[in-house]
Amino acid sequence: MPRKATRVIMLADCQSFYASVEKSAHPEYRDRPLVVAGDPARRSGIILAACPLAKSYGITTAERLGEALAKCPDVVVIRPRMAEYIRVSLHITSILQTYTDLVEPYSIDEQFLDVTGSLDLFGSPEVIAKSIQSRVLEETGIYIRIGISDTKVVSKMACDLYAKKVPGGIYTLPRKDVQTTLWQMPVRDMFMVGSRMANHLYKMGIHTIGELAQTPLSRLRDRWGVNGEVLWRIARGIDDSPVKPGTYAHQQKGIGHQMTLPRDYESWEDIKVVLLELAELVSRRARDKSLMGDVVSVGCRGQDYDRPTGFSRQMKVNEPTNITDEVYDAAAALFLRHWDGLPIRRISVSLTGLVADSDIQLSWFDDRERKRELERATDDIKRKFGDTAIMRASSLCSSAQAQDRSHKIGGHYK
């Protein structure tokens, strides 16, 4: 039996993606520190991206804009343009697809490629990586770093831990070399290990990736179940998962929306306004996809993530629905049942247990069907004239967020 060919998998990562897009669009800022953040006019929000020059002043992603301005008063602050970032990301995908059909977006600025079948056409992995890097820079102005290995998890760590730090931005790390390279690294640097998990591992006496890899699997399983085995496999570079171009084309299991609030919301009068707006967003998305759901979930969190407050709960409704009032009624009942009265800064609503709305038999004489027809009419108006063409009166309240969100994609400005 012929030996199976070793896979060649790459992880391409865009450096400071949002900031790089803006620097490409504004050559006049090429030699100036630049960040993409919230709302520059209000000098508020958090840093979504910082160029390398801005980072040299100590500015970090996710810190408050005010803190960044204190570190570097002359930093250029640009409001995010999510539609443009999505366009550039899709352009980069199209470039990668000229080298292989096996391209899997991992996030807006990271993509996996399997170029195993492309070596005869384009050359060695390093030659392909340099060609990709050159084309992306030429066509988009974005500098990318590329990790190369024979598994997805190792190519990801090759990129994050090595390619981002070496001249040229390309690093090859075969899985057979994991023991002499990755195993020496701090466990906090391993893919899928956040600060909280790192603290748990420290308490177990595990401080390096190698120590995690050599921990008896049974011990990790006893502590974290299947997630313990996932960590053990990553530490050893074991990953048979293929690069799947259709990763995000799978059957939808749920429709949800979450909102980070501009301030602490402390009263039910304020909270119910945004809860209704979220129910409306979720219900409209369900109608757009011709879906209904019979499980409504609601969640919230406070501002202090070191001492998290809040909850996440769900309930089954009597019949599948995509009617705003029904989703809101369930979400409101859940919220009032479980809310401890503490201020909240983030809130979410989702609809699961999805079925095609064509599977549900409704009568025109049923009040629910009349509500659906009314909401379809408002959906048509919004599609034609914009989200703010027709709104509920409650969305004119000071606590409402619908008007502000109409200018955003994924919570960030278009």
Q: Is 13 annotated as a binding residue?
A: yes
**Whole-angstrom distance, CA of residue 15 vs CA of residue 25:** 15
Exactly one of 22, 104, 110, 326 is catalytic; which is it?
110
- Other C-beta atoms within 10 Å of 310: how many? 17
Question: 84 catalytic, yes or no?
Answer: no
**Whole-angstrom distance, CA of residue 274 vs CA of residue 260:** 10
**CA angle at residue 89 from 143 to 137, to 5 degrees?**
25
The neighbouring-strand residues paired with 314 are: 297
225, exposed or middle or buried, with CB in 10 Å at 0-12, 13-18, 19+?
exposed
Contact present, 177 and 209 (Cβ < 8 Å): no
Contact present, 133 and 144 (Cβ < 8 Å): yes
What SS3 string covers 249-302? Answer: HCCCCEEEEEEEEEEEECCHHHHHHHHHHHHHHHHHHHHHCCEEEEEEEEEEEC
Tokens of 41: 């006019």
State the catalytic residues.
Answer: 110
> Binding site residues for Mg(2+), as ranges?
13, 109
